[in-house]
Structure 1
Amino acid sequence: MFKFIDPFLVSLLSTVLLASLFPCYGSGVAFFDNLAIIAIALMFFLQGARLSRQAMVQGLLHWRLHLVIFLCTFALFPILGIGLHFFFPHLLIPGLWSGVIFLCCLPSTVQSSIAFTSIAKGNVPAAICSATASNLLGVFITPLLAGLIFSSQGHLKLDGTINIVYQLLLPFIAGQLLQPWIGEWAVRNRRLLSFSDRGSILIVVYSAFSEAVNMHLWQELSIDQLIYVVLIDVFLLFLVLTITAIVSKFLKFSLADRISIIFCGSKKTLASGVPIANVLFPSSMVGIIVLPLMIFHQIQLFIIAILAKYCAKLMDKELAAKKED
C-alpha cells in the first residue's frame, strides 16, 4: 500500500505542517511572495523548454480522441463540480467549494497520465499529445473558466489575467522559443529540473498556508469538512472514470484508445494547479483553494495505479485473443 504514496505528497504535507507551526510574518511574507513569483516563472520557462514540438504533432490527427479528453477535462469536470455545489451548497464552507470547483477547471497532468497509460498498455502517443495539449491550453482555459465562475463572487485578483500573462504565459513562450538550443539539455536533465518544478510548488504552498494560518484557517476547518472534501474528491473521480469508460466504449474507440481517454480525461494537475491558484486568487485564499486539489492528487494516483494494472491485463487478453484468431 505504501508504494502508492507519492513522496511529493509527503513533502507537501510536511510543508503544510511547517507553515502551520512556523508561518512567515512581516517582511518574510513579501520575501516568500516574491520568491514564489520567480520560482513559478522559472518553472513555466523550463516546461516550455522541455516540451517537444514533435510530441505535439504526434497523434494530432486522432482528433476524436483528443476532443473527448478535452471535453472531459474542461467541460464534464466543471459541470460536475458546479452541480455538486448546487445540490449540496452547505456541505462545505465557501472556500473549500471554491477549491473543488477550481480543481474541476484545471488541465490534465502530463507525466502521470502518460506513465499510467503506458503501464496500462494504452495508446501512449495519443496520451502524450492530449496531456501536453491539455496542459498548454490550460494556461488559457483555466483562468477563463475561473473568471466566468468566480468573477461575480469577488474571489479573483483584479490583476489575475495580467499576472497569468507575465508569470505563466511569457516565461512558457520564452522557453519554447529557446527550445531548439536548450531543449535537449532540459530533457537530459529532466530529473534535476523536476526539483525546480516541485521546489516552486513547495514555496507557493508554504507562502499560501502561512497566509492562511495567519487568517486562522485551521480554526475555520473541522475534521468533518476534511472528510467531506475527501468524499467529494473520490465521488468526482469515480463519476468521471465511469462516464469516460461508458462514452469511449459507446463511441467505439479501441481498448488502447479507451485507456488513454480514461486516464488522461480523469486526471488533474497539481504541478500547474498550485501556481495558477497563486496567480488568480488573493493570497489569503490560496491555501484553502489548493487543499481539495492536494487531496485529489493523492486519491487519483492511488486509484489510477490500481486501475492501470487491471487495464494492462485486459490488453494482454485482447492481444492473446487476436493472436489465436
Structure 2
Amino acid sequence: MLARLFPDRFVPVLLATILLASLLPVRGAAVPVAQGISTAAIVLLFFLNGVRLPRDEVLHGIRNWKLQGGAFAFCFGAMALLGACAHALAALFLPATLALGFLFLGILPSTVQSATAASSMAGGNVAASVVAAALLNLAGVILSPLLFALLAGSAGEIHGAAALRIVAILLLPFIAGQLVQRWLRPWVVAHRGLATLMDRSAIATAVYVAFSAAVVGGIWHLLDAREIAIVFGAVAILLALAFGGAWMLGRLLALARADRITLLFSGAQKSLAVGAPLAATLFPSATAGMVLLPILVYHMAQLILSAWIAPALSDD
C-alpha cells in the first residue's frame, strides 16, 4: 500500500525530514555546525552533477533544438510566469514570505534523476531527457537567481555576498566535476546507487537545516489549517497546469511521441536539489524554510504523479 501511495522512495524520506525538523529542529550552538554540514553536502551534490554530465551527450542533444528549446522555454518561461501569477494570488491569502515561495518554485530548473527515470519508464527519449535536465540545471544555477530578482522586485534583490555564495557553492563545484570527469565518471556510473544516495542525502540535509530554522522561527504557529490547505490547493493547480501545458506544447511543436514524453517530465518537474541550496543562499535562515514549503509540496507531488502517469503513457 505504501508503494502505491509513494511510488518514489524519496517522498517518505522528505516527509520524515520535515517531521524530524518539526520535532527536533537544530538550535543554538548546533546551527553553525549543521549549516556547515549542509553546505558541504550541497558542494558534493553539485560536484557529482558535474562528474555525471557527459559533455559529448550534451553537444549531441543540443542538435535537437526543437525539443531542447521547448523544454527551456517552458521551464524558465511558462513556469516562471505561472509562478509569478501564483505568487500574486497567494499573497492575498498567505503570509508574504510563503507566497513568495510560489514564485521561487516557478523559476527553478527541472529535476535530473527523476525526470530521466520517469521518461524512461514512459517510453520517452532517454538520451534527450538526460541532456535536457542537465542543460536546464546548468542554466538554472545562473538563470534562476536572475529570474527571481527580475520577477520578485525588491523582495528578490541579490546582494554581492549571495551572488558569490551561488558561484562558490553551486557553480564552482560543478565546473570542478566537469574537469575531473574523465577520471571519476566511470566510478560514479559503476556506483550509481551510491551516487544517488549521496545526492538525496545532500538534499535531505539542506531541507532539514532550512526547515529547522523555519520551525524555530514559528512556522507552525504562523500558519493555520486554512493556509496549509491553500498551499496544497495552489500546488495541485500548478501541477495540473504544468503537466498539461508541457504535454500540449509538445503537440504544438509536432514532436515525436518519445520527445513529447521527454518534454513533459523535463518541463513540468522542478528541482529541489537546486531549490534547497539556492534558498539557503538567497534568504536568511529563518526565511528559507517558509519559502521552501511550496517547492517541498510540489516536489513530493510531482514524484508521485510522475510515477503514476509514466506507466500509463508507456501502455498507450
- Answer whether TM exceeds 0.5 for this pair: yes
- The Cα of 1:38 is off from its aligned counterpart by 1.4
- The Cα of 1:155 is off from its aligned counterpart by 6.7
> Is residue 115–residue 269 contact of structure 2 (8 Å, CA) maintained in 1?
yes
* One-letter amino acid matched to 2:150: L
> Is residue 66–residue 253 contact of structure 2 (8 Å, CA) maintained in 1?
no
Aligned twin of 2:234: 232
* One-letter amino acid matched to 1:108: S
The 10-residue stretch of structure 1 (4-13 or 25-34) with the greater mean CA deviation from structure 2: 4-13
The 10-residue stretch of structure 1 (142-151 or 35-44) with the greater mean CA deviation from structure 2: 142-151
Aligned twin of 1:19: 21
Q: Counterpart of 1:252 in 2: which secondary structure?
A: coil
TM alignment of 1:8-47, pairs within 5 A:
8-47=10-49
Q: How many angstroms apart in 2 are the aligned matches of 1:128 and 1:203?
A: 25
- The Cα of 1:130 is off from its aligned counterpart by 0.8
Query: Is residue 244 from structure 1 mapped to residue 246 from structure 2 by the alignment?
Result: yes
C-alpha deviations, 1:40-65, integer Å up to 9, x for none?
11111121112222321233211011
Identity of aligned residues (%): 39
Aligned twin of 1:134: 136
- Aligned to 1:262, which of 261, 264, 281? 264
Q: How many angstroms apart in 2 are the aligned matches of 1:89 and 1:211?
A: 22
Q: Is the alpha carbon distance of 1:121 and 1:7 closer, same or farther for their aligned partners in structure 2, counting shifts above 3 Å?
A: closer
> Is residue 86–residue 102 contact of structure 2 (8 Å, CA) maintained in 1?
no
Number of aligned pairs? Answer: 314
Which structure has the larger Rg? Answer: 1
Q: Counterpart of 1:107 in 2: which secondary structure?
A: coil
> Is residue 102–residue 289 contact of structure 1 (8 Å, CA) maintained in 2?
yes
* One-letter amino acid matched to 1:106: L
Q: Counterpart of 2:307 in 1: which secondary structure?
A: helix
C-alpha deviations, 1:119-177, integer Å up to 9, x for none?
11122222121111111111111111122233512675652111000111111111110
Q: How many angstroms apart in 2 are the aligned matches of 1:122 and 1:97?
A: 34
TM alignment of 1:1-325, pairs within 5 A:
2-3=2-3, 4-5=5-6, 6-153=8-155, 159-314=161-316
Q: Is the alpha carbon distance of 1:241 and 1:202 closer, same or farther for their aligned partners in structure 2, counting shifts above 3 Å?
A: closer
- The Cα of 1:306 is off from its aligned counterpart by 2.4
Q: Is the alpha carbon distance of 1:15 and 1:286 closer, same or farther for their aligned partners in structure 2, counting shifts above 3 Å?
A: same
- The Cα of 1:267 is off from its aligned counterpart by 0.6
Aligned twin of 1:320: none
Q: How many angstroms apart in 1 are the aligned matches of 2:156 and 2:77?
A: 23
Q: Is the alpha carbon distance of 1:155 and 1:92 closer, same or farther for their aligned partners in structure 2, counting shifts above 3 Å?
A: farther
Q: How many angstroms apart in 2 are the aligned matches of 1:88 and 1:217?
A: 17
* One-letter amino acid matched to 2:95: I
Q: How many angstroms apart in 1 are the aligned matches of 2:240 and 2:28?
A: 43
C-alpha deviations, 1:174-217, integer Å up to 9, x for none?
11101111111122122112222222222222221221122111
> Is residue 150–residue 156 contact of structure 2 (8 Å, CA) maintained in 1?
no
> Is residue 87–residue 101 contact of structure 2 (8 Å, CA) maintained in 1?
no
> Is residue 52–residue 188 contact of structure 2 (8 Å, CA) maintained in 1?
yes
**RMSD (Å), alpha carbons:** 1.8
Q: How many angstroms apart in 2 are the aligned matches of 1:313 and 1:194?
A: 28
Q: Is the alpha carbon distance of 1:15 and 1:88 closer, same or farther for their aligned partners in structure 2, counting shifts above 3 Å?
A: closer
> Unmatched 5+ residue regions in structure 1?
315-325
Q: TM-score, length-normalised on structure 2?
A: 0.93
The 10-residue stretch of structure 1 (212-221 or 252-261) with the greater mean CA deviation from structure 2: 252-261
Q: TM-score, length-normalised on structure 1?
A: 0.91
* One-letter amino acid matched to 1:134: L
